[in-house]
Structure 1
Amino acid sequence: MAQMGRPRTFDRDAAITQAMHLFWQHGYDSTSLSQLKASIGPGISAPSFYAAFGSKEALFKEVMERYLNSHGRVTESLQDPGIAPREAIELALRRSARMQCEPGHPRGCLVTLGLMSACSAETLEICAPLAQARARNRAGFIACIERGVASGELSAQTNVVALATVFESFLLGLTTLARDGLEHAVLDAAVTQIMSAWDVMRVAA
């Protein structure tokens, strides 16, 4: 009679969170299999790792899904037409700044860090969901500004793409500043300043 394999001795859900923190901190390419195994628990073999997750790439896909459905949701206001467009942008920026400085996980944003750490063609393909998330945010900024123009809040002369790029650039830049250790209060105050880019284009009452 064939012997059954040893039962899994680790919490798979917790392991995905630990792997997420490693990928978040180091990027996909720089996170090694040995680091992933060590984060899961002492003594886990390569066969056990592959039996649980399939591959490093498959684990990263699970990590990205978890991130985008948790921490990555801070920009969801950009997609909500029920929120006033200026408020939607400000909420996304403030929530992202707060999340990127929270304790309990690496600083910065995994969606942005995926862009910064993707070096090879293979990695770019693996990180495609993160590129899609950035594109979704970009489209959200554009949609908010278009709503502002359509409602008459913003001038009809507003360069929609240029103004959206201002806000997107600020959002992407938060990651570098958070990684450099700037406090949340500083980043939050900067959000107040960047929102003046919207106010400049307001139609006078």
Structure 2
Amino acid sequence: MPPAGRPRAFDMAVVLEAAMRLFWERGYDATSMAQLREATGLSSASLYGAFGSKEGLFERAVDHYMAGPGSVTDVIDDEALSPREAIARMLHGSIDMQTDPSHPLGCLIALSGTVQAPEDGGDPAARRIVAARRAASRARVRACVLRGIAAGELAEDTDVDGITSMIYAFLLGASTQACDGTPARDLHAAADTLLAFWHPAGREA
């Protein structure tokens, strides 16, 4: 007697990896279902059956990215590190990842869903998906800045939102520069320059 239900005839991790790379390289709007079928080797029926829609596949691909290359930023949550060291490792680790030629350059979260789809005049699902991820990442940076103040690494009157925006803007901006071919060494030097502001309260860098 055959088992209940119909088993998947494809490897989910392989499909998500292929879709992730395609969205990462081309962006959400520029990626067609025909290209996704070719990259994943699945039919439209299989893709829609497994993911429900292109947006559903994109959301799963984003999850796959965050569990893989994107996880390099998770170090910011490591409270065993000093807050400054956590920020430094996040920035330098992200630069290494974004300039790694073994996969598309830049950051999928920064680049793949930032342009509003012109046909509906509103925020498409893909844009909301990556915007939510960016908001969560920004909140993690902000929490680390607050830890820096509590640890005496930053002055009590530090502009928390301003510092958060500076760090996170650098992180997102590195994606464009990586795609434009800026060498990793230059981005690392820029990260060190940015970090020069972060020093114990009352002591100049």
Please give the TM-score of this superposition, normalised by the length of structure 2. 0.85
The alignment status of 1:121 with 2:119, answered yes or no, reads no
The alignment status of 1:106 with 2:104, answered yes or no, reads yes
CA contact (8 A) 1:24 1:110 kept: yes
Q: 1: CA distance between counterparts of 2:140 and 2:100?
A: 24
Question: Deviations along 1:122-176, whole A, 9 cap, x unmatched?
Answer: 52x3343322221122122222222222222212221111111111111010000
2:65 pairs with one of 64, 67, 78: 67
- Counterpart of 1:174? 174
2:85 pairs with one of 80, 84, 87: 87
Change (3 A) 1:153 1:50: closer
Provide structure 2 residue ranges, at least 5 long, that are not aligned to the other structure.
Answer: 1-6
Percent identity of equivalent pairs: 39
The alignment status of 1:187 with 2:194, answered yes or no, reads no
Question: Deviations along 1:56-98, whole A, 9 cap, x unmatched?
Answer: 1221121011111111211112223222110111111011101
- Counterpart of 1:4? none
In structure 2, the residue corresponding to 1:121 is in which secondary structure?
coil
Question: Deviations along 1:106-131, whole A, 9 cap, x unmatched?
Answer: 100011114533435352x3343322
The alignment status of 1:31 with 2:23, answered yes or no, reads no
Letter in 1 for 2:72: V
CA contact (8 A) 1:85 1:145 kept: yes
CA contact (8 A) 1:152 1:203 kept: no
CA apart distance, 1:8: 6.9
Structure with greater proportional helix content: 1
Letter in 2 for 1:39: A
Q: 2: CA distance between counterparts of 1:17 and 1:32?
A: 16
Q: 2: CA distance between counterparts of 1:78 and 1:138?
A: 11
In structure 1, the residue corresponding to 2:80 is in which secondary structure?
coil
- Counterpart of 1:56? 54
CA apart distance, 1:191: 1.1
User: What's the Cα RMSD here?
Assistant: 2.3
- Counterpart of 2:44? 46
Most deviating of 76-85 and 93-102: 76-85
Change (3 A) 1:127 1:69: farther
CA contact (8 A) 1:75 1:96 kept: yes
In structure 2, the residue corresponding to 1:116 is in which secondary structure?
coil
Provide structure 1 residue ranges, at least 5 long, that are not aligned to the other structure.
Answer: 1-6
